[in-house]
Amino acid sequence: MAKNITPKEKDYSQWYLDVIRAAEMADYAPVRGCMVMRPTGYAIWEMVQKYFDDAFKETGHVNAAFPLLIPQSFLSKEAEHVEGFAPECAVVTHAGGEELEEPLIIRPTSETVIGHMYSKWVQSWRDLPILINQWCNVMRWEKRPRLFLRTSEFLWQEGHTAHATKEEAVEETLRMLEVYRQVMTDDLALPVIKGEKSEGERFPGADNTYTCETMMSDKKALQAGTSHFLGQNFAKAFDIQFQDKDGSMQYAYTTSWGVSTRLIGAIIMTHSDNDGLVLPPRIAPQKAVIVPISTSGEKLEKEIMPKAAELKASLCASLGGRFTTIDTNFHMRPGDRFFSHLQKGVPLRLELGEKEFAAERLRAVRRDTGGRIDIAWSDAATAVPALLDEIQKNLCGRALEFRRANTHRAESFEEFKEILEKEGGFVEAFFGGSKEEERAIKEVTGATPRCYPFENEGERGKCFYTGREGARKAIFAKAY
């Protein structure tokens, strides 16, 4: 067990921070609540971005860049929206050496300013749909910051679309939720539950919010991404009107959807262990590291290093990128070298010592299981990618199993409380309560409705809290 990492059983919060520090993923910035994403952490974000961005483009979306600063008055145009975001805003009052006439908000999200622009760009039904995404930074002032999970500034993508009909907008909202699910499951190895948010958890200004919820290794829930059907709320607030085919003027229907760097927190808390970071191979910027080892400088230089370079080139080619590196930290002991890669979550360590060299093979060590496999040099270009696929599958399967094992059903509030006290995890229960009742449950148990899951959506039953019949199935949990 790593000395620089507090075991998660002892102190989960400290374990989380220790894993981040040991992998050099992030650091607090000098401004309270803000974060620096160090190269190891940022490279993961680049991988994550690539998968989502490809999926967005594959579904017909294009990227754009909207401004960082928003006039304060914009926020107030949508009543629920301003109520939700005003308390978290950072405000620019001076610029260019002068006091501004109107204070400017650093965007907490961009529905307002994008709504304003869309109203200029949309005239006719031919201008619709607009399918735009942006990757950017946003700011929501945070009193209790936590690296990746809650920081005053964070990086994210926000998709904003406008449509001629309600049907089309709802379809888009659900399409993007499914894109999220797919990338999260296939690439990030996060098995998520798709569902609809309850009234109390809805995005301020949305008619409906849909979510992908996932379980961390402390059994708490994390909202990994949300997709909002905004109805005509923002179209009316910002006057996004168009002339329809029949000549009549109509308000557009809009959607928005986002995932953020908090996904990196989710990856850490889903997969990592007491030795440090564990990364699913598909999002690992370094998928394999070759570790040449010898006490003989001559053997290293003349035999082992040239072979390592050759293997690296062949692996980079078969993996399609700069995904393999060679460890040249010869001033460190082999054990310490191994350990440094362990802590950075490199999925596969490929040891190349004198014994391996003589036998023309590599000794592969899996980060997820610690399992050791000998791979002949001649097989490496096919065996390594196959092994990485296996690790990917194992991590996702393990997380799914963990979630299933820690999901329980409750029929009454008594049972509900007992499960949360004794075991934690997800509680499945029929729920027919309102926003007020959500709040009451949270006050007693700390748990909130994470979603009404899409699976077996039609099922109805008696509400565990109010006793009302015809209630929908919900999942409750304590959440990040």
Q: Is 17 in the site for its own copies (CB under 8 A)?
A: no
* Residue with Cβ nearer its own copies (17 or 92): 92
Cis amide prior to 129 (ω within 30 degrees) = yes
Among 16, 74, 234, 339, binds its own copies (CB under 8 A): 74
| Distance separating alpha carbons of residues 432 and 318, to the nearest angstrom | 53
Among 106, 192, 279, 396, binds its own copies (CB under 8 A): 106
Among 50, 57, 245, 435, binds its own copies (CB under 8 A): 57
Counting Cα atoms < 13 Å in the Cβ hemisphere of 66 gives 24
Among 1, 9, 10, 31, binds its own copies (CB under 8 A): 31
Q: Give the DSSP H or E segment for 316.
A: helix 305-319
Q: Is 35 in the site for its own copies (CB under 8 A)?
A: yes
Using alpha carbons, list the distances in angstroms from residue 469 to 199, 417, 433, 462: 18, 21, 11, 4
Amino acid at 267: I
In the complex, minimum distance from the CB of residue 87 to its own copies, in angstroms, rounded to a whole number: 5
Q: Is 95 in the site for its own copies (CB under 8 A)?
A: yes
- With 0-12 / 13-18 / 19 or more C-beta atoms within 10 angstroms meaning exposed / middle / buried, residue 446 is middle
In the complex, minimum distance from the CB of residue 57 to its own copies, in angstroms, rounded to a whole number: 7
- Do 462 and 469 form a contact (C-beta atoms < 8 A)? yes
Q: Is 320 in the site for its own copies (CB under 8 A)?
A: no
- Do 13 and 129 form a contact (C-beta atoms < 8 A)? no
In the complex, minimum distance from the CB of residue 115 to its own copies, in angstroms, rounded to a whole number: 11
Cβ-based neighbours of 336, under 8 Å, separated by 6 or more: none
Stretch that binds its own copies, among 137-145, 210-218, 363-371, 441-449 (CB under 8 A): 137-145
Amino acid at 70: I
Size of the site for its own copies (CB under 8 A): 58
Among 2, 7, 21, 43, binds its own copies (CB under 8 A): 43
In the complex, minimum distance from the CB of residue 464 to its own copies, in angstroms, rounded to a whole number: 36
Using alpha carbons, list the distances in angstroms from residue 394 to 191, 222, 295, 367, 456: 12, 21, 36, 11, 27
In the complex, minimum distance from the CB of residue 310 to its own copies, in angstroms, rounded to a whole number: 20
* Residue with Cβ nearer its own copies (105 or 420): 105
Q: Give the DSSP H or E segment for 79.
A: helix 79-85
Among 66, 125, 251, 413, binds its own copies (CB under 8 A): 66
Q: Is 124 in the site for its own copies (CB under 8 A)?
A: no
**Which residues contact its own copies by CB under 8 A?**
27, 29-31, 34-39, 41-43, 45-46, 57, 62-71, 74, 86-97, 103-104, 106, 113, 116-117, 120-121, 132, 136-137, 139, 141-143, 152-153, 155, 322
